[in-house]
Chain A
Amino acid sequence: MHARLTAFALLVLSVGLSVPTALGQDTASKDIRQGTVRFGDDPRWADPAYDDSTWPTEWLYPAPDSLGIHWMRARITMDSTRAPFQPYGLKLSMLAAAEVYWDGVLIGRNGRVGPTRAQEEPGTIRAVFPVPDSLYTPGEHVIAVRLSNFYMPPDFAYYLYDFEVGPYASLLTDWTDWALVPFLFLGGFLIIMVYCAVLYALDRRSTALGLFSLLCLCVAALLATEVTRAVINYSYDWHPVRIHVLTALTTAVAGLLPLFFMHQFEAPHTRPVMAGLAGLLTLSLLLPASTDEQHYWMFWSTLTTSLGVVGWAVVQQKRGAVPALSGVGASIGGLAASGWWFIDTYFFPTFALIVVALLASLGLQMREQRRQREAAQLAAARLEIELLKKHLQPHFLMNTLTAAMEWMEEQPDVGVRFIEALADELRLLVDVSDQTRIPLATELTLCRRHLEVMGYRQDRTFKLQVEGVEPEAPVPPAIFHTLLENALTHNRYTAPTVCFQLTGDSLDSGWRYTLRTPRNGPASAEGREGTGLRYVRARLRESFGEAGSLTSTSRNGTWTTIIELHSGD
């Protein structure tokens, strides 16, 4: 186990973080990897002179699965060069209660070894015993361990994790030193969890953010559960509980990761994909193998599923898909390289890569949203200004005022009505200019006021005939008004009465409006799209997006403009 932890520590170091380690003391720690184990109990087995040559010769790793009292015996040879004033110790990390004998002398106890479950007192998962200076001498020593493991489930494969001799201080701290970096990751995941949760709370529509927050929580919990062992020296009977928690969290992470990607990239077929993944995860859990191996296959299931989703997103050119693909790719590489040790080594750093990838894609999405919002605001402001400016333009305003002066001097009562109509039109324009949709009735009033003003200006009657419309139907402000204004600007009407026609047709999901204006202007006004039509198009886009359309044709002396407004947005 220590080797795995070291591998993780080295990996983390290679990622660029440094961790203080206890390596490089005067004398390095020695792992005890070879020895012999025997089921049964006999006090003579502590004696270094006892002949254990008839015992089964086998590796201490892995130890047999049997429950009850065992003895382990191992030999270790000490160097002659011992550092002065350096206390030495022996570390034993195993799922058992234990007594440790050094050359036949009892040097420490972890819990209480007992012949039955009731008589055993479980030891902690890790114990470091000082080796008295008098015993720690150069030459060969025999270490005997008497142990009982009644609190383990009978099929638990590994119970000896760490058995080593070395400088006492480093044996005490090397696990906690290793835990530093995972805790850094843990803190990071928790902060990102809170951040995404807050974003999700502010905008409930972003399911992906909520899922990611949950995913970060599960990963943080998985990481916490994983490193608990390094900082909390719990009694070994809790170990199976911890393993079950790990399995539950691994399952949650395995499910959430692809689910998150599917929401993030708006992938189709969520249900069948998730059902397939659930099947794979169940199969992994049913494997007759160690939990580490089960977790390993669960990671394969989730990462390949994620790879499929993210790969699809890349093909679809979804925003942020490429960083996500690199994160998942790195995870798969790590999984292939580390095998069963994935959770202890590559998982957290590569998950951190996925987090970075996600944050990058979130950032990109937010920037895009902000850009669109800003552009929309800018466009709205521009349209508002454009509409108001049209009526502050000298051409309209000054000509209107001059005509008003003439009426005031010649026929003051007409002049007064003229100015009233102008005031009404300007007031309405200011009211509607900053809105995106107004009732058609308001728009028609605006049109009629404008026609009235233009009628006084040209000493002609302009009429707007309206049929088949719904007064409350929403329209963008000043679109018909602008089209009429266009007609009046580009044509020289000579008839005493000029009639414009607006017809409304109810469609399944909205309205079609047809505006007919008589044409007798110079031919040059045709064909090119003036500022008026551009304004109308921009307003349609702003208020109705893709659900609005405009077509304009000229035939037989009539200019026909068709505007369709659909409500489904």
Chain B
Amino acid sequence: MRILIVEDEPIIARRIARLTRSILDDANLIIEAAEGLDSAQDALLERDIDLLFLDLNLHGADGFDLLTTSVAGAFHTIVISAYTDRAIEAFEFGVLDFIGKPFGRERLAQALQRLHAPGARTDPPARYLAVRASGRVTLIDVERVLALQGAGSYSELVLRDGSTTLHDKPLKRLVTLLPDDFVRIHRSYVVRMSAVAHFLAREGSRYAVELHDGTTLPVGRTRVDAVRERLV
């Protein structure tokens, strides 16, 4: 596991690293630190970072720009900020957690737990998904998203107008940030349950859901019961 800390206060960066190490107790843990997002660009573009601790002054002019750049990445972002009054907005942009300064070990542990807890969802969920396309980050309203399809270590967002767009995060990470209306129905599919019209049982124990717009998506065998339960 590889974690990047972006924090310009050296003592606080030290604190995050020290506490994280003691919480995760992972022999393969690599923790890097940078003073600012600009100096961390190289590290951010690499695919193997799992988590970014981002110190963010959300009152600054470019605080949210930095935030959207960060949440568009493949990794999860946990914001650590002195400005706790902007926490809800940060969640709406799709952060995994928002830790207010000052913080102790317990609070950090609670945030790190979200990384691995199965079925964990952020509260409040994201309202926007930041998508990096041709070097630019654009925001997509979650309301426009019907379904997500896994595409290797990326996700493809299927929008209401039928168009699709790629998100840098893998499906597993992305679903953590979404409202619980989005349900994993297949190893490679997540669907908005309120968009489902029918549950289809086909020959050979193959199952699928048909959306209101006629699209059909396969349902994994292991997930049939759970999906049916949600549809009743």
Contact = CB atoms under 8 A, between A and B. Distances in A.
The 7 closest A-B pairs by CB, nearest first: A398-B82, A394-B82, A402-B102, A398-B101, A406-B15, A401-B102, A403-B11
26 contacts: A394-B84, A394-B101, A395-B57, A395-B59, A395-B83, A398-B100, A398-B101, A398-B102, A399-B9, A399-B12, A401-B102, A402-B11, A402-B12, A402-B102, A403-B12, A404-B102, A405-B15, A405-B102, A406-B11, A406-B14, A406-B15, A456-B11, A457-B9, A458-B9, A458-B10, A492-B35
A403 B104 CA distance: 11
A412 to B, nearest CB: 14
Given A397-B82, A401-B101, 7 more contacts: A394-B83, A398-B102, A401-B102, A403-B15, A405-B15, A406-B15, A458-B9
Interface of A: 394-395, 397-399, 401-407, 409-410, 456-459, 492
Summarize A's interface: helix, strand, loop or mixed. helix
A401 B102 CA distance: 6
Nearest to A402: B102
Nearest to A458: B10
B123 interface: no
Given A492-B8, A492-B35, A402 B101 contact: yes
Contacts of B11: 402-403, 406-407, 456-459
Contacts of A404: 102
B10 to A, nearest CB: 6
A403 B10 CA distance: 9
A541 to B, nearest CB: 27
Nearest to B100: A398
Chain B, interface size category, equals 20 to 34
Given A405-B102, A458-B9, A492-B8, A399 B14 contact: no
Interface string B1-38: 00000001111101100100000000000000001000
A458 B10 CA distance: 6
Contacts of B100: 398
A457 B102 CA distance: 13
A184 B187 CA distance: 103
A439 B101 CA distance: 35
Contacts of A459: 10-11
Contact of B9 (A394, A402, A409): A402
A457 B8 CA distance: 11
Contacts of B10: 458-459
A456 B102 CA distance: 16
Nearest to B104: A405
Given A395-B57, A458-B10, A402 B15 contact: yes
A462 to B, nearest CB: 14
B23 to A, nearest CB: 14
A426 to B, nearest CB: 16
A395 B82 contact: yes
B103 A402 contact: yes
Task: Choose among B9, B83, B100 the residue with the greatest number of A CB atoms under 10 Å from its CB.
Answer: B9
